[in-house]
Amino acid sequence: MPTYEYRCKKCGHRFERFQSISEKPVRKCPKCGGKVQRIIGPGAGIIFKGSGFYVTDYKRSKEKPAPSKTADSKVTADKKTDSI
């Protein structure tokens, strides 16, 4: 359930309410009874659940891949045209 932040238009009192999404928004200030306005908050941070995330999970291996044959043949072809 999300936490909503409200501000009273009459007295400026700010408060939060932990409400269900389907619940109707608060209409009256608990302090003075004036009209309130729902404020858009910054939201919550990211919460990682489960076994965890580690540096090694997506780390690249230190080994360089072997060059492909197409790259070798291009280099050889370039050398041949340079010497002509």
User: Is 2 within a domain?
Assistant: yes
Question: Reduced to 3 states, what is the DSSP secondary structure of residue 74?
Answer: helix
**Among all chains, which residue has been given the structure tokens 């291009």?**
74
Q: What is the pLDDT of residues 28-56, one digit of tens each?
A: 999 999 999 998 877 666 666 666 666 66
Residue 38, in any domain of the structure: yes
Q: What CATH number corresponds to the domain at position 33?
A: 2.20.28
pLDDT at 13 over 70: yes
Residue 49 belongs to some domain of the structure: no
pLDDT of residue 30: 94
Domain extent, residue 39, equals 1-43
Specify if 8 maps to a domain: yes
SS3 69: helix
Q: What is the pTM of this model?
A: 0.49
Question: Average pLDDT for residues 52-63, to the nearest whole number?
Answer: 62
Q: How many domains does the chain have?
A: 1
Cα separation values, 37 from 9, 18, 56, 83, Å:
7, 15, 47, 79
> For residue 32, is it within any domain?
yes
